[in-house]
Amino acid sequence: MANAAVADSAQADALRHALVEELVTAGSIASLEVAAAFRTVPRHLFAPEVPLQEAYANDIVRTKRDEHGVTISSVSAPWLQAVMLEQAQIGPGMRCLEIGSGGYNAALMAELVGPDGEVTTVDIDADVTDRARRFLDTAGYGHVNVVLADAEHGVPQHAPFDRIIVTVGVFDVPPAWWTQLAEGGRIVVPLRVRGLSRSLALVRDGDHLVSVGHEMAGFVAVQGVGARAERLVTLHGEEVGLRFDDDQPVEAEGLREALRLPRVQAWSGVTFGGMEPFDGLFLWLATSLDRFCLLSRARTDAARGLVDPASPIATPTLLSRDGFAYVAFREVDPQTQTYEFGVYAHGVDAEGLAATLIEQIRLWDHEHRRGAAAKFTIYPASVPVARVPGVRVVPKRHTTVTISWP
């Protein structure tokens, strides 16, 4: 029995160090401090329901599902946790808040703040906080504060915080997070803007927050007061749908009829390598298009026969009253795995929609693809925000978000 335990411990150590090497090679870990935290915290103790190999895989571990089988709590993928910790730039002695518990990420934060710092983790689900408390204690992090509460209101009894890291997907940044942020503090939050989620590193600048960096990120949605579901308009049963993150009017029947019309295609001449990310293009289209939504389809051959978007989960789509056009791609060189961006469009105005979307793809390629990232600015809703050409203004519940490009 003792020999088996020693063998398991040795295997866990080896797997943990291999995971760190993978994260460093991929660029997810950039600092010695974050690398040391990942080498130290035993991730398998926070995911006891899966084998060691899965606990140290660079993937999420699902820990709770709702009655429909949808994941509502998980141990996040290590690469994303590493990226967000790098964004946060946590240092020794800091007071930190994690919104969305699981235990493992709070333990990593505890390693970064050291014995003179303090980490608080909060979640609305008692099952989640009970689990986090139990695993933190087992792993030797009993000093981490675990709070059961709706994080919409922050955790005032442990504020102010030098760093706030949000590990659930949110639609807005509530006022409590602003007021509980210490002077010179930083918030890292996966914010949903026009349906797209980006992990924003935000610092205060007068009466607003500004991004100092952002990364593509996806999390289970926040629960409680801050929850806000997207609106789904189905076009062909459950196989094809349009997702809306705002209240723009939609003529659903006209769009369903458009899907029945022959598909128009157009190609941009803009190419990319098979492993090259193109989330910058998606964000540019969300910024530049007024009538914007996301197309999704089921992962079936029947659904693909109807629409073939760049991403089956969420592809930028341009709307008209009775037509739509969306981003696609095709392989142009199998040997080099090179692909070309294009557009598929449906409706009586399909050709015009396709031309508009192609123009925006080319504009992104020419002016923004290799330039500086977009800048997010977040204002309290009470602060008037002027509408300036070239700046997308997105009103939310508590705030107004602007996106601008250099």
Q: In the listed set 152, 187, 216, which residue is the last one of a domain according to the structure? A: 216
Question: How far apart are the C-alpha atoms of 362 and 155, rounded to whole Å?
Answer: 46
Percentage of the chain with pLDDT > 70?
A: 96
Residues 211 and 326 in one domain: no
DSSP run (H or E) holding 81: helix 78-88
Report pLDDT for 70: 59
- Which residues of the chain carry a pLDDT beneath 50? 1-5
Domain membership flag for residue 7: no
DSSP run (H or E) holding 76: none
Closest CA to 224 of 265, 156, 169: 169
Domain membership flag for residue 306: yes
Cβ contact 128:60 at 8 Å: no
Give the active site residue among 76, 211, 288, 311: 76
Cβ contact 220:69 at 8 Å: no
Domain membership flag for residue 266: yes
Domain membership flag for residue 184: yes
Report pLDDT for 277: 86
Question: How far apart are the C-alpha atoms of 171 and 397, rounded to whole Å?
Answer: 8
Residues 94 and 138 in one domain: yes
Number of domains in the chain: 2
Question: How far apart are the C-alpha atoms of 159 and 63, rounded to whole Å?
Answer: 29
Domain membership flag for residue 235: yes
Domain span holding position 148: 59-216
Residues 141 and 262 in one domain: no
Report pLDDT for 5: 46
DSSP run (H or E) holding 299: none
Residues 92 and 239 in one domain: no
Report pLDDT for 66: 67
Closest CA to 54 of 29, 83, 74, 84: 74
Domain membership flag for residue 97: yes
Q: 214-250 in b/e burial notation, b at 16+ Cβ within 10 A? A: bbbbbbbbbbeebeeebbeeebbeebbbbbbbeeeeb
Residues 63 and 205 in one domain: yes
Residues 115 and 77 in one domain: yes
Residue 90, C-beta contacts closer than 8 angstroms, at least 6 positions apart? 33, 96, 109, 112, 113, 162, 163
| Alpha-helical regions (H) of 250-380 | 252-260, 279-288, 301-306, 350-367
Residues 207 and 241 in one domain: no
Q: For this structure, is 28 an active site residue?
A: no
Residues 80 and 212 in one domain: yes
Closest CA to 289 of 319, 262, 331: 319
Q: In the listed set 187, 216, 245, which residue is the last one of a domain according to the structure? A: 216
Residues 300 and 349 in one domain: yes
CA torsion angle for 265, 267, 272, 276 (degrees, to 10)?
Answer: -30
Residues 308 and 199 in one domain: no
Q: In the listed set 172, 193, 216, which residue is the last one of a domain according to the structure? A: 216
**Tell me, what CATH number does 132's domain have?**
3.40.50.150
For the question of whether the overall pTM of this predicted structure is more than 0.95, the answer is: no
Domain membership flag for residue 89: yes
Residues 87 and 153 in one domain: yes
Domain membership flag for residue 393: no
Report pLDDT for 3: 40
Residues 90 and 157 in one domain: yes
